[in-house]
Structure 1
Amino acid sequence: MTFELSGAHPARHHRVLVAETADGEVVGTAQTGIAHDSPRPGQGYVNAYVDPARRGLGAGRLLLGAAEEHLAARSAVDSYAWVLDEPAHRAFAERNGYRPGRSAHFLRLDLTAAALPALPQALPEGVELRPATAFAADPRPLFEIDSESTADEPGDVQADLDDYEDWLTHTWHNPSLDKELTTVALVDGRAVAFSAARTDGATRYGSAMTGTLRAFRGRGLAKLAKNTSLHRARAAGYTEAFTGNDSGNDPMLAINRWFGYEICATETHYTRELGTQWPSN
């Protein structure tokens, strides 16, 4: 949270809002800002959370209203929110004028119990695997893979990664990025696929992005990089692996089922057009 706030791109206008009672008890929070890397301008986001034990006080609606004011003041035209696929959460979003769009799954893999697919005894000709630390002097090849993969990722709000310096600041230098476990596949010496890993430094491993340059897709290189990363994560003592996929991203969902991941939660992207009147209920 500290890194995200202190290092946020100025055009993102990222803010964290807090709701508290009169006696100072924090009962909710919201993160809001502008999707500045979207090719379509004016796309805002707000994700609000209220302590389940303190619902019914109006904190969620106050947070949502304050976040939308922040977005409208910065020329946002739409407000997007990720909403857990639970009746109470969906009902709150719809009462406040939000309408559902695409959904996404969170998936979990128990590294202590899963039988990971075996690693190949030999790599295909011309293919080699390296950790991201091998690119410490020049990570631009990984930026290029990330940029192409992100552009092709399904979702309601698209993103264009075209600012290398911003990528260095917010992705490459993110303290949660584990460059030893992040695994890169090279073909004839060129980096063409990777599986980026973020960890808590203790037990939890998360896949940040797995992707391949368009010209090299269909060869199983991203799967190979991710499998290698997962094996190395388990050997390093990580016990849980998490990832997320758009529910329409069938190729990645199939890959993750092959690894043994199971869906542990689902959320839906809701949106409201700013400038329209709030519902009265």
Structure 2
Amino acid sequence: MTITVRDYQPSDAKAVADLRRAALPSLISTPQGIAWRIATAPAAQRQRQFVAEQDGRVVGAVRGHLLHDSSVPGQGATMPQVHPDHRGRGIGSALLASAEEHLSAVGATHVFAWVLDEPGALSFAERHGYRRTRSARFLRLDLTTADLPQLPDALPPGVRLCTGADFGADPYPLFAADSEAAADEPGDVASDAMTYEDWLQHTWEHPDIDLDLTSVVTVDGEIAAYSLASTDGLGRYSSGMTGTRRAHRGRGLARLAKTDSLRRARDAGCTEAFTGNDADNAPMLAINHAFGYRPAGAEWRCVRELGRG
């Protein structure tokens, strides 16, 4: 059975989304989301997507791109995904080689990848020269049985709950809040160079983002906290990012935003909620545990310096 690695084609969107759901069930993956991400990739990202095909079926995929929203040059990222039924046949190695060759050609000096915290995946990463740097956790909440907190009968003076859709006329304040919170997230590469234009296209306009389920907390008319929501139309909901602006931290506003978003999601018919947290993000892990989220897997951020084994 011959394995062919080739460039992604628009007709592959559904196959890649199905593959990603099988390989990474804690992530939202839709055909429209895959197609959008590839079709609208910023030129500075130098993105290239490959698929591995066997007997006419897509059994693996990988994307290589530069982390263009970081002020540190030369940072690339990739993550081969192989269908669970087709692992151990060299597909991941072939995909990774294609992605690394592309990244080297576009100037990447370091390649970051998320690797599942499983013996086979970690062994694969180590054999290919990747070393672990930090861990993260996938969390799942059963919305059909979750005992979600009640929203307060009355909000504190000056505090208001809104949806993302309420900012349709001017989403810039939400961009500013998201940029500030993302810059403070634990991580190996800071997301400190995101432009408003990129954020509009790849967050605000992303087809998987659900603005009606995205909750925003304002204080005296200014955004203080928010919880971005994604859905897949299959009953699955994901918290894309929950954050609080620095001046408003420590007041429980992120918890308020997420409570509102989760309750909206359940009312809209979502049955499962997923999220992911860096293992060092103790405040957010505590909030999610209190909601009833439980472990659904873990992964390691790994890095390889190109040109070295």
Query: What band does the TM-score fall into relative to the shorter chain?
Result: over 0.9
Give SS of 1:160's match. Answer: coil
Percentage identity across paired residues of the two chains: 57
Q: Give the Cα separation in 2 of the matches to 1:186 and 1:25.
A: 48
Matched, 1:217 2:249: yes
C-alpha spacing 1:25/1:240, structure 2 compared with 1 (3 Å): closer
2:71, 2:193 within 8 Å by CA — same for their partners in 1? no
Structure 1 residue 48: Cα displacement:
0.4
Matched, 1:2 2:26: no
Task: Look up the equivalent residue of 1:17 and give its one-letter code.
Answer: F
> Which AA in structure 2 matches 1:117?
P
The gaps in structure 2 that reach 5 residues or longer are: 1-33
Report the TM-score, using the length of structure 2 for normalisation: 0.87
CA contact (8 A) 1:81 1:269 kept: yes
1:206 paired with 2:231, answer no
Check if 1:11 corresponds to 2:44. Answer: yes
Cα shift at 1:158:
1.4
Which aligned pairs between 1:171-186 and structure 2 lie closer than 5 A?
171-186=203-218
Give 1:70's aligned residue.
102
Counterpart secondary structure, 1:175: coil
8 Å CA contact retained: 2:181, 2:243: yes
Q: Partner of 1:254: helix, strand, or coil?
A: helix
Structure 1 residue 162, shift from structure 2 partner:
3.8
Aligned equivalents of 2:94 and 2:156: distance in 1? 57
State the shift of 1:161 in Å: 4.5
Of 75, 92, 108, which aligns to 2:124?
Answer: 92
Cα deviations across residues 238-274 of structure 1 (Å, max 9, x unaligned)? 1111111000000000000111101101000111100
1:260 aligns with 2:264: no
Distance 1:28 1:162 in 2: 30
**Stretch deviating more after TM superposition (104-113 or 56-65):** 56-65
What displacement does 1:52 show? 3.0
- Point out the more displaced range, 147-156 or 6-15: 6-15
On the 8 A contact 1:12/1:36 being kept in 2, the answer is yes
TM-score (norm 1): 0.95
Q: Hey, what's the Cα distance between the residues in 1 that align with 2:194 and 2:63?
A: 24
- Partner deviation per Cα, 1:109-136 (whole Å, 9 max, x = no partner): 0000010112111111110111111111
Query: In the alignment, what sits opposite 1:145?
Result: 177
Instruction: Give secondary structure in 2 for the equivalent of 1:128.
Output: strand
1:47 maps onto 2:79 in alignment: yes
Per-residue CA shift, 1:143-192, capped at 9, x if unaligned? Answer: 01000000000011211244111111111111111111111111111122
Whether 1:127 and 2:159 are equivalent positions in the alignment is yes
Partners of 1:127 and 1:116 in 2: how far apart?
21
Partner in structure 2 of residue 247 of structure 1: 279
Alpha-carbon offset, residue 77 of structure 1: 0.5
Task: Give the 3 Å change call, closer, same or farther, for CA 53–181 of structure 1 in structure 2.
Answer: closer
Contact residue 161 and residue 167 of structure 1 kept, 8 A: no
Hey, what's the Cα distance between the residues in 2 that align with 1:249 and 1:56?
33
Do the aligned partners of 1:129 and 1:183 also contact (CA within 8 Å) in 2? Answer: yes
User: Are 1:33 and 2:65 an aligned pair?
Assistant: yes
Give the match's secondary structure for 1:158: coil
- The 3 A distance-change label for structure 1 pair 111 and 59 is same
Q: Secondary structure at the match of 1:47?
A: coil
1-side partners of 2:212 and 2:145: how far apart?
Answer: 23
Local SS of the residue matching 2:261: helix
What CA distance in whole angstroms lies between the structure 2 residues aligned with 1:148 and 1:61? 37
1:237 paired with 2:239, answer no
For the residues of structure 2 that align with 1:157 and 1:122, how far apart are their CA atoms?
Answer: 40
Q: Residue type of the partner of 1:11? A: A
CA distance in 2, matches of 1:195, 1:111: 17
Give the CA RMSD over aligned residues: 1.2
| 1:47, distance to aligned residue in structure 2 (A) | 0.4
